[in-house]
Structure 1
Amino acid sequence: MWCHAATHVGGEWFEISRPPYLPLGMRWEKAVLTAGVSHAFGIFDRTLCGIQETGMSPSDHWWLPEREDACGACREAADVLDDRWPQAMRGENARVSVARRL
C-alpha cells in the first residue's frame, strides 16, 4: 500500500513531515469508473483494490466506505492502511517535523 511523506529541501536545512491523520471517509476520492460499484482512487491510475485503467482519475467526491455501493476490497485495503497509522499520531497536533543540519 502507499504511504506518503512530504519533504522540503532548501538551503542548509531539510524538513521531513508526515501528513495529518484523516478519517477513512476523508482520505480518498471516489474513482471515476463506469461500474455501479464505488471504488477508492489510490495513485498511479489504480484503485485501492487494484483496478487499473489508463487515464482513470479521482472524482470531485469523497469515497465513502460506509455506503452500500462501496467496494468491499477497497474497504479492506483502507482498513489495513488505517490500522497502520499509530494511535498516538492521530491527533490534531501529531504532525511531525524533523529538521537536521546538513
Structure 2
Amino acid sequence: MGEQIKIRALIQGDTADIRILMQHPMETGLRKDERGQLVPLQFIQTFTVTLNGKPIIDGQLNTSVSKNPLFAFKAKGVKTGDKIGVFWQDNTGDRRQDEITVA
C-alpha cells in the first residue's frame, strides 16, 4: 500500500478547488538503477474521486505521468461536511484509498 493520498479542498462560493497528490513512484520500466539494472514497471492504472460516496471522476493513467502525480480541478456543489474520497490501483495490484471531510 502506498503512502497517504493528500487531499485538499477550498470552497470559494459555490465552487471548490480540489487538489489531490497521489504519492507513487510511477516507474516506466525503462529507467536503470545505480547498478545498471532496469527498475521494474510500476504505475497507477486507475483512480476514482468520490463526493459523498458517489464517483465524480474515474480516470486511467499510464507510464507517461510523472512521479507523485498532482491533480487539481474545480467542482460545484461541494459543501462543508462533505466527504471527498480518492482510490487508486497500480499495475502490480497495489492500491490506496483515503478520504477527507471538507472543512
Q: Which has the larger radius of gyration?
A: 1
More strand by share: 2
More helix by share: 1
TM-score by length of 2: 0.27
